[in-house]
Amino acid sequence: MSSFNTDIAIIGGGGAGLRAAIAAAEENPELSVLLISKVYPVRSHTVSAEGGIAGVMSEDDSHEKHCFDTIRGSDYLADQDAVEFFVNEAPKEIIQLEHWGCPWSREENGDVAVRAFGGMSTKRTVYAADKTGFYMLHSLFERSLKYPNIKRLDEYFVTKLVTDFDSTGGETNNEKRAEAMPSEKHTEAENISAKTPRVIGCIAMNLQTGELVSISAKTTILATGGAGKVYSFTTNALIKTGDGMALAYKAGAELKDMEFVQFHPTGLPRTGILITEGARGEGGYLLNNLGERFMERYLPNKMELGPRDIISRSIMSEIKAGRGFSGPYGEYVHLDIRHLGEEKINEKLPLVREMSLDFAGVDPINEPIPVMPVVHYSMGGVATNVNAKSSLKGLFAAGETACVSINGANRLGSNSLAECLVFGARAGLECAKECKSSKLIHVSARELADEENRIAELLQRTGSKTVATVKTKLQEIMQKHAGIERDHEGLVIGLNQILSLKRELKNIELGDKAKLFNTELTGYLELENMFVIAEAILRSALDRKESRGSHTRSDFTERNDEEFLHHTHVLQDQKATMSLSRKPVTITKWKPQPRVY
């Protein structure tokens, strides 16, 4: 088939995408829901989340506490109305997921177990050993099989979002787009309306055959995850190349707070594989080469359970002071869980032990684990409101690809899995409602032909560069100039190098000309998306002349609420260049104050 029609198209099959599909299918069984994923859904990156999911589940906790912890952790850049909605909904989603078969770990009395996580004022993180994402994703996938109105396109890569324009008399067919654009015969009101874009579907490549298909949809949800692969050292899977964010940007949607990139304190040297925060939540220590629990120097009241941005900076301070360890893959510190004992490690942290043995060659029962800060999470993404709506009509986003923002300048660990469920469900419900009044506009044959011609040109192009060499250079630039600590000079150098390197896209020749599972072609299309993300991060970081959360400027070391208590929005202007604007942070009742623990 070269075309599909659906009420709701969901791009991304991980936690947020599956939750959106289920919510829409339950809201209206008559709706058609199409789930499009470039990998099989159970191989989505949600599967690798380890430590747990946040929600108010214990008697000594409260919604007020969870809200404040999240807002303080965000360095007061989170939108507080979104945080309040999120905190209220998260426990419902945790309970719902248990009803769908997710095997949460238990206390001896049978209650759902909770563990401590960084930046939280009480034990709030529900978990399933240290394989939480695995169990969540499989529970969601199995639940989705119940609904006959959910169809899947597995191993389809979306290359483009297709937009049309709303007019005062209703939607126009995008084959007549030129007629819908402003002209001298239109009134001013008609011109404004004619310029309003609406997402009407997408073009996707069947990775098994190389065939392009058009997908027409009344509403579209982006749930493609983050963009950690724009860096060379990351916990993120190969698939996390910022596709959804870039697709939205190129279609005309706004991105938000792209400068905020979270470094997780404990990644394994060389591989970047995550050692879950749950290891510290269960009582693990961070040690320098003097055997000191060095967090006493930085956060004596929280120690290893501080927010990720502060602990990552603390580790780098220890290394700079010469108190780190040195190995063939860089400098690091130790994470010590030996004192927990073999029984507890095997019960609550079995994956930590397995990965330490397999990828670091150490058994944490007997020796400490080498760890170093590693790129982990994108706080920024497609700008959405609390109902998951983007700035483009017909386009929604949820999970890490979206920015509501509940995370602000720094996400607290275990909030992300809850975010996938809460806003995935919200996106599905809102799309189901919008479908009642939306008309299906068919993606035109011309749109499909144009994209087929573009892909054919890529396969025929000659040049001296390869996808691998350009991608590696991009990642090295970002790692060097947009890392844990930044300054004006480095960011300018990084931006200029990225813009110069982007021109090399035209000199890339694909060695694989076949259509069947052409991973080199897919890699090229992902690389195009990565350049959008890299530029957005660097431009936004340059514009924010302060230090806040994960964004640390060595030339502007203090937080500056007078000038920078705002969100950074990124938009492609009419000249196809990247422009920035500032929008206010929503403050409800937690006024910004010094971020102390």
From the candidates 43, 152, 280, 567, which is the catalytic residue? 280
d(CA 360, CA 363): 9
Q: What is the DSSP letter of 220?
A: E
Residues of 493-518 as b/e, b for ≥16 C-beta within 10 angstroms? Answer: ebbebbeebbeebeebbbeeeebeeb
Angle at the Cα of 90 from the Cα atoms of 84 and 94, rounded to 5 degrees: 170
Distances in whole angstroms, Cα of residue 451 to Cα of each of 211, 446, 512: 11, 9, 19
What φ, ψ does residue 326 adopt, rounded to 5°? -120, 135
**Dihedral sign (CA 113, 44, 422, 71):** positive
For this structure, is 264 an active site residue?
Answer: yes
CA distance 52 to 120: 13
| Cβ contacts of 90 within 8 Å, gap of 6 or more | 53, 54, 55, 56, 66, 418, 421, 422
Tell me the DSSP string of 374-416.
Answer: EEEEES-EEE--TT-B-SSBTEEE-GGGEE-SSSTTSPPTTHH
Distance between CA atoms of 482 and 594, rounded to whole angstroms? 25
Question: Per the omega criterion (within 30 degrees of 0), is the bond before 405 cis?
Answer: yes
Helices (H) and strands (E) in the chain, counts: 17, 23
Beta carbons of 202 and 11 less than 8 angstroms apart: yes
| Catalytic residue list contains 280 | yes
Q: Name the 3-class secondary structure at 450.
A: helix
Q: How far apart are CA 223 and CA 567, in angstroms?
A: 21
Q: Which of 45, 66, 264, 334 is catalytic?
A: 264
Q: β-pairing, 395-397 with 212-222?
A: parallel
Catalytic residues: 264, 280
